[in-house]
Amino acid sequence: MLKTVTTDIAALRLVEERLRWLSAWTIHHANHVRDSADGLKVGGHQASCASMTAIMAALYFHALGENDRVAVKPHAGPVLHAVHYLLGSQDRATLENFRGFGGAQSYPSRTKDKIPVDFSTGSVGLGVAITLFASLVQDYLTAHGWMDERDRGRFVALIGDAELDEGNIYEAIIEGAKHDVRNLWWIIDYNRQSLDATSADRMFERFDEIFQSCGWRVVELRYGKKLKAALAKTPKLQAWFEQLSNAELSALHYQGGAAWRTRIEAGVGKPAAAFLKDHDDATLAALFTDLGGHCMESLVEAFDAAQDDVPTLFIAWTIKGYGLPFAGHKDNHAGLMNPTQMAAWRDAMGVTEGREWEPLESVGDNARPGVEALIERSRILRDKRSRAFGSVTVPALPAPTGDEQSTQAAFGRILLDLSKAGGDLADRIVTTSPDVTVSTNLGAWVNQRGLFRRSDMADVFAREKIASTQKWSATNNGQHVELGIAESNLFLMLAAAGLSGDLFGQRLFPIGTLYDPFIARGLDSLNYACYQDARFLLVATPSGITLGPEGGAHQSINPPLIALGQPGLRHYEPAYADELAAMMEEAFRLIDDPNGESTYLRLSTRSIAQVDRGDEAWRDGAIHGAYWLRPPAPGAEAAIVAMGAVMPEALAAWEELSADIPGLGLLNVTSPDLLHRGWTAAQAARWNGERKPSHVEQLLSELSPSAGLVTLADAAPASLSWLGGVLGQRVAPLGIERFGQTGNLPDLYAAYRLDGDAITEAVAELLLPA
Ligand SMILES: Cc1ncc(C[n+]2csc(CCOP(=O)(O)OP(=O)(O)O)c2C)c(N)n1
Ligand SMILES: [Mg+2]
């Protein structure tokens, strides 16, 4: 970690001014200078940026060490770009194209921005919490010897105060307390304004207690040095100041010096007379903007004083739109300076017209060497951060043997076998689950590999010799991170562990398990993980009404549709154990492939008869999304198309019907997601003159163009019904459209029309002459 360095505060202040100017100018340029092709407002958040420029100057040009990582408040994206522009790692053309196609992104993006972005942000709250899980991953890596203690960094989140309304933050700090997380700085830009309005006064007083009870140190930076000294001389004025509501304070910051004077006269009266006499309106306004988050000395002091690894929350008081004409105005969130305001502000900032992009414009000759030295020091630290990492060999994963198996049980077996066989992959797997480790069949793996804790935790039941199949002691060598029931945390943990290569130079293979319906509980966090290209394997089990007696609330319906619409996540739904082994192998390979993605396996607890394989031809099809389990006769008029755990119903119906319908095919769909992607990709390729049909087009073209397809899934029927659109074949979709309920499988399959009768009727109807 960086030792405290002495920094030239005056130079830092100049850097702050440069950041404030450049971020505002970048937004202004995109809205008022650049040509518009469509007349749409480009937007940007000048006020949100100005609120944070001092904090970011103090961080990037003083406090951050080379191993530290930062999640920047989404609306301060332009400030991050300005930081890199000063450091020389962002170019002018990209800034001129801010919010344009291929230009600097509106919100910091790991995958799309050219500058190094540690964590993407945008959906408020998630960028905050991922830093906590990244710190946990860092502890995991050092404990396992994958990373040197000396390379440990700090994880910083720059937080808008309104982000603290997001529940995922509290779920994260509760989980963090259990794992004794450290090396975290969360810095709140406490400008007391959100998007719509000024924020509630009462709640903020509670945040200290909430964080402290989770083991955090809370440091409040309310006053800058000058304001603090002035108020200390006039205690009545301080008392009056401190009882102002957020709305009153913001309004005064907007109104300026004369308004401060009138309000102080009315509110404090005589005791403030000397103070008011000493300050004209302009100095009054300047003095009251000297809040902690704008005072460079206070920021530097506070950061220097927090050099241990205790997680620390800084509450830095700021003014939204600091130094801009709409500072403090409650409607300033998306406010933009107009050209007249901008020109006036440009002059006030000492920027010459035509030299707006000059990085150090307005920095005088005498001050330049100091500013340049700060920039150089920070540049060297930032440049040291690239982390190269090698690839990991994924061995063949043998399929578990057994005539009857469920995919969920097979998943546990495959992992157990892998654990016993050992090797690099097995050692780099880290599993995690929100309190459903046992019920998703990770138990055997955990018995083998143990729970991870920084400090050892004995298994009391084992010590007391109480019989249990789960022998779970926790050590810093364990490979399973146990989480409480908060699915959002699961996805943030997967996101952080799935970025381990990029963040720490060490690839991990994260596997997260949960019940399929509860994917919805953490959906935005899942999307967030995929958005920044984290790599992991998500195993959702059990799924569908095939869960049977456990009933409706646990029976998932729409996750295959979620997966169909989720970039960066590949859905597989195996029917058989050997398919699952092949898919897991592929999923691990995709985690490590620079052009890969994450995988979602939708599994079932239903034990079904496995099929005899004559050869290995199925394997390639299964990995690409479908294969003919019973090939059709060329030009056949009908096929059953089924996915996952209902394959026995499809097979039985096929047996029964194929006597009457010779050539009837049975297509086993293992990934509607991949089939759909392949289909649209082939269409797009055709516009470029490539004529190769996609996998699904090849499969379906073995049937007659007028063939009928009966699709069957223990999921929303739309998961498969779209297949009719590929070649224009007719479809009878079977699947689940109502909430599930308790029952045995025959009763449920009959009630929800997933049984042989339903298939037979659907086939018959399709074959009837129109
Ligand atoms: C999950 C989510 N909901 C809503 C939004 C829209 N939104 C963007 S910023 C914002 C309020 C930001 O206020 P604050 O966090 O205090 O940041 P400030 O701009 O004041 O610094 C909202 C509601 C969002 N980005 N993400
Ligand atoms: Mg705010």
For residue range 592-610, what is the model confidence (pLDDT) as tens digits? Answer: 999 999 999 999 999 999 9
Task: Give the mean pLDDT of 619-635.
Answer: 98
User: For a pLDDT cut of 90, what percent of the chain falls above it?
Assistant: 91
pTM score, two decimals?
0.97
* pLDDT for the residue 474: 87
Ligand 1: residues with CB < 6 A are 45, 48, 51, 73-75, 123-124, 160-163, 189, 191, 193-195, 320, 333
Is the pLDDT at 2 greater than 50? The verdict is: no
Q: How confident is the model at residue 458 (pLDDT cuts 50, 70, 90)?
A: confident
Is the pLDDT at 213 greater than 70? The verdict is: yes
* pLDDT for the residue 457: 81
Using one digit for the tens of pLDDT, what is the confidence trace for 581-595? Answer: 999 999 999 999 999
Rounded to the nearest angstrom, the distance between the alpha carbon of 190 and the centre of ligand 2 is: 6
Rounded to the nearest angstrom, the distance between the alpha carbon of 108 and the centre of ligand 1 is: 14
* pLDDT for the residue 4: 65
* pLDDT for the residue 200: 79
* pLDDT for the residue 211: 97
* pLDDT for the residue 770: 55
Q: How confident is the model at residue 197 (pLDDT cuts 50, 70, 90)?
A: confident
From 246, 322, 333, give the residue whose CB has the most ligand 1 atoms within 8 Å, as the site to mutate: 333
Length of the chain: 770
Is the pLDDT at 205 greater than 80? The verdict is: no
What distance in Å separates the CA atoms of residue 425 and residue 508, rounded to the nearest whole number? Answer: 9
| Closest ligand 1 atom to 195 CA | 11
Average pLDDT for the chain: 95
Q: How confident is the model at residue 1 (pLDDT cuts 50, 70, 90)?
A: very low
Rounded to the nearest angstrom, the distance between the alpha carbon of 252 and the centre of ligand 2 is: 17
Rounded to the nearest angstrom, the distance between the alpha carbon of 639 and the centre of ligand 1 is: 50
| Closest ligand 1 atom to 125 CA | 1
Closest CA to 18 of 70, 73, 84, 91: 84
What distance in Å separates the CA atoms of residue 102 and residue 114, rounded to the nearest whole number? Answer: 9
Task: Give the mean pLDDT of 314-322.
Answer: 97
What distance in Å separates the CA atoms of residue 630 and residue 623, rounded to the nearest whole number? Answer: 17
* pLDDT for the residue 769: 63
Task: Give the mean pLDDT of 392-421.
Answer: 97
Q: Ligand 1, atom 8: nearest CA belongs to which residue?
A: 195
Peptide bond preceding 559 in cis form (omega within 30 of 0): no
Rounded to the nearest angstrom, the distance between the alpha carbon of 52 and the centre of ligand 2 is: 10
Residues with CB under 5 A from ligand 2 (ion): 160-162, 191, 193
| Closest ligand 1 atom to 160 CA | 15
Using one digit for the tens of pLDDT, what is the confidence trace for 648-705? Answer: 999 999 999 999 998 999 999 999 999 999 999 999 999 989 989 999 999 999 999 9
Going from the C-alpha of 551 to that of each of 416, 441, 650, 764, the distances in angstroms are 29, 19, 23, 31
Q: Ligand 1, atom 23: nearest CA belongs to which residue?
A: 195
Closest CA to 157 of 312, 53, 301: 312
Looking at all shown ligands, the one closest to residue 167's CA atom is 1
Ranges 84-88, 196-200, 269-273, 284-288: which has the least confidence: 196-200
Using one digit for the tens of pLDDT, what is the confidence trace for 464-509? Answer: 888 888 888 888 999 999 999 999 999 999 999 999 999 999 999 9
Scored b (16 or more CB within 10 A) or e, 43-59 reads: ebbbbbbbbbbbbbbbb
Task: Give the mean pLDDT of 142-154.
Answer: 95
Rounded to the nearest angstrom, the distance between the alpha carbon of 512 and the centre of ligand 1 is: 29
